[in-house]
Amino acid sequence: MFNYYFDRTRNAQPATVAFFEAIGKGEFEGYTSVYTYDELDKAPEPQRTNLLNLIEKYRILVLDSSDEADLLAEKYIANNIIPKKKNIDALHIAIASVNELDIILSFNFKHINKLKTKTLIPAINVTLGYREISIAQPEEVIDYEADE
């Protein structure tokens, strides 16, 4: 999602910026996982600095990994919700789940923001004693007017 903030070629860029601004205004609390932080940290400059500055600018809390999240991610993989080779995606979801977040916003339509994942993750979570979690994209949770 961080990349969309700066990528004006993406249709969802205005909604992404509007969502970050809503976080800045206190309308939403912003969280990301340590794994996202690590991914951003590997970006080339000046992109790296721009992406990491979003975390500070919008006071986004970076959630740490845990054994509990690791085990939950393994359950997602064992239940064929997320492919094993994409375990980082399972970890993103698991960290949000163990920290009892309400929603994950993602433009990863291949493994995270797709019907199978959006249906099965809440079911697995409830079965294992966690809260249901929703998965969406910014346009689905905020009201904004794009400049046409």
What CATH number has the domain bearing residue 62?
3.40.50
Domain with 132, as residue range(s), is 2-140
Residues 72 and 90: their CA atoms lie apart, in Å, by 8
145 in a structural domain? no
* Residue 9 dihedral angles phi and psi, to the nearest 5°: -80, -10
Instruction: State the average pLDDT over residues 2-20.
Output: 94
pLDDT band at 143 (very low <50, low <70, confident <90, very high): confident
Total residues found in the chain within this entry? 148
94 in a structural domain? yes
Residues 50 and 123: their CA atoms lie apart, in Å, by 37
14 in a structural domain? yes
Domain tally, the chain: 1
146 in a structural domain? no
147 in a structural domain? no
Indicate the burial class of 128 (C-beta count within 10 angstroms; 0-12, 13-18, 19 or more): exposed
127 in a structural domain? yes
90 in a structural domain? yes
For residue range 78-127, list pLDDT tens digits in order. 999 999 999 999 999 999 999 999 999 999 999 999 999 999 999 999 99
Computed over every residue of the chain, the mean pLDDT equals 94
CB atoms within 10 A of CB 22: 18
89 in a structural domain? yes
